[in-house]
Structure 1
Amino acid sequence: MTDFPRTGFWRRAAAWLYDALVIIAFAMLTTVLYLLFIQLLLSFEFLSLGNAADVSDLIQQDPILKTIRTALLILVSICFFVYFWTRGGQTIGMRAWRLKVQQVGGARITVKQAIIRAATALGGLGNLAVIVNLKQPRALQDYLAGTEIITLSKEENKRIYKSLD
């Protein structure tokens, strides 16, 4: 396999934007399912609205329900990245911009590395570290997880995509 260059800030930012849109869609779906679950608990009288106006208000008022919702949203986001990074090294946004995450030696990243990357990316702010070292760009999450993001050729990107079928 040919050595591909590490990816700079702007390509990472563009891929992050694509992925953010997908994550927002997953977050909306997760929230709807959570609201339905809480409504089901209310219907069976396992929970009570108390002085809350509706289900959303109940979740906002109850620190436990609010914490569960937040944890679910974080878990869904981390699972999205872990799934795609460990499967083929590319999220949807990364595929569009021909980026791939891999171990520094070129191997596929592990689940542990993917979790570390997702948890330490700081919502994308970890990519600002790329600006510090323009010759060998790596984000904060890359340093912490022992990974790198490379820019693939069009042919290699197609090959990886077809190998996932």
Structure 2
Amino acid sequence: MSKKQPASATKNLLQVSLAPFWKRLAAWIYDLLGGLAVFILALSVGLLIAYLVTLPWAENGAAVSSALSNNPLWLIYILACVQYYYVWCWVKGGQTVGMRAWNLKICRPNGEHLSWKEAYIRSIASIGGLGTLWCLIDKEKRGLQDLSCDSRVIVLPKGYGKEQKPLI
């Protein structure tokens, strides 16, 4: 269940402009680094656990590495960790690290944060970032991921959110 923003915050968000393609692209590039960091962390934690569990009977690390690389659950675990990072950012604050750097925010048309369900739908629709190209031809500058969950990427006014808490 998502927390509703105060009416004044919603009113202010509705008066901002929609994000142009170049700002979305810049934020996406920043967010690739954030996703890569989560990927490396998930990989490290997963490998550590795998090595600790198999330590008594594994002769070398190659056996563990081979077992993980052939297991589809390993790939699902890594991708789910990266997906959860983006979903969590969108639900909790409407922004990822890259979006904060470029003063962008994802919200519903009424200014509220996305729900968990909407954020998961958006994350699936935005895999690869190709859906963002759709905003070049959409009159309302929405990408396919925005259309999938009825969200908007807006440009926040300068100075907005300077008093915000850090993401973590």
Tell me which moved more, 74-83 or 112-121. 74-83
Question: 2:65: which partner in 1?
Answer: 56
Q: Secondary structure at the match of 1:155?
A: coil
Query: How far did 1:49 drift?
Result: 6.7
Question: 2:76: which partner in 1?
Answer: 71
Question: 1:154: which partner in 2?
Answer: 158
Deviations 1:2-30 (A, max 9, x none): 31111111101110111110110111111
Could you tell me the percent identity over the aligned residues?
33
Matches within 5 A, 1:81-96: 81-96=86-101
Seen in structure 2, the aligned counterparts of structure 1 residues 7 and 49 have a Cα distance that, compared at 3 Å, is: farther
Query: How far did 1:154 drift?
Result: 1.3
Query: How far did 1:105 drift?
Result: 2.0
Q: Name the CA distance, whole Å, in 1 between partners of 2:28 and 2:65.
A: 29
Question: 1:4: which partner in 2?
Answer: 16
TM-score by length of 2: 0.83
Q: Name the CA distance, whole Å, in 2 between partners of 1:95 and 1:53.
A: 41
Q: Amino acid of the residue matched to residue 7 of structure 1?
A: A
Q: Secondary structure at the match of 1:101?
A: strand
Alignment pair present for 1:142 and 2:146: yes
Q: Secondary structure at the match of 1:122?
A: coil
5+ residue gaps in structure 2?
1-10
* Two-structure CA RMSD over aligned residues (Å): 2.3
Seen in structure 2, the aligned counterparts of structure 1 residues 163 and 24 have a Cα distance that, compared at 3 Å, is: closer
Question: Which protein is richer in helix relative to its size?
Answer: 1
For the Cα contact (< 8 Å) 1:42–1:49, is it kept in 2? no
Query: How far did 1:157 drift?
Result: 3.5
Query: How far did 1:55 drift?
Result: 2.8
Match of 2:32 among 20, 31, 40: 20
Alignment pair present for 1:110 and 2:129: no
5+ residue gaps in structure 1?
none
